[in-house]
Structure 1
């Protein structure tokens, strides 16, 4: 799967109304750790059909970033059934990110 960009205008439809979990990468063009995470996110997106990954540029989309109190980049927020179930701040190795995502997805109660 490829990584799409979302905006303040498309966030509800693309993230909150998604039928599968969505990892939102709150990012900024000027952020070196954000750029360092791009290949890792690309690999995860290519390997997983059960998780959608999207990017939201916080400089161009300040409303959603403010709504979820995103202050540092990169911030990764995992949404399931329209709700944020996990927030991770800062870059990390692929294996650690995947483990953290798996733990959050397993803990989320079914049918919510």
Structure 2
């Protein structure tokens, strides 16, 4: 999963293609728990581009998008927010895959 480089890139990607942003941080133990499963999740949902967003680097973006817990996921399709899985709770592979499977197409 590649990392977000700028706020402008966030807005461009959200407008251009189906994308899922994973908000994370290096110090977040719950984020580290899901890191090993994310390649499999990405492989199962190839219709989306997955982008890692460092919460500490993009705190203003987190505030703008009401993302206060990590790990969290925001999905965009056709320039619109398609869904969010935002909380401070640890997430399982099954929960992440269920969130992605239930996004509107």
Name the TM tier (shorter chain).
Answer: 0.7 to 0.9
The 3-state SS of whatever aligns with 1:76 is strand
TM-score by length of 1: 0.79
Gaps of 5+ in 2: none
- Taking only aligned residues, the RMSD between alpha carbons, in angstroms, comes to 1.6
Between the aligned partners of 1:41 and 1:84, the Cα distance in structure 2 is 21
Partner of 1:109: none
- Measured after TM superposition, the shift of residue 101 of structure 1 is 1.2
The 3-state SS of whatever aligns with 1:55 is strand
Selected match of 1:85 from 82, 85, 88: 82
Query: What pairs with 1:6-21 in structure 2 (closer than 5 Å)?
Result: 6=4, 7-13=6-12, 15-19=13-17, 21=18
Gap change, CA 1:102 and 1:47, over 3 Å in 2: closer
Gaps of 5+ in 1: 107-112
The 3-state SS of whatever aligns with 1:17 is helix
The 3-state SS of whatever aligns with 1:60 is coil
Aligned residues: 102
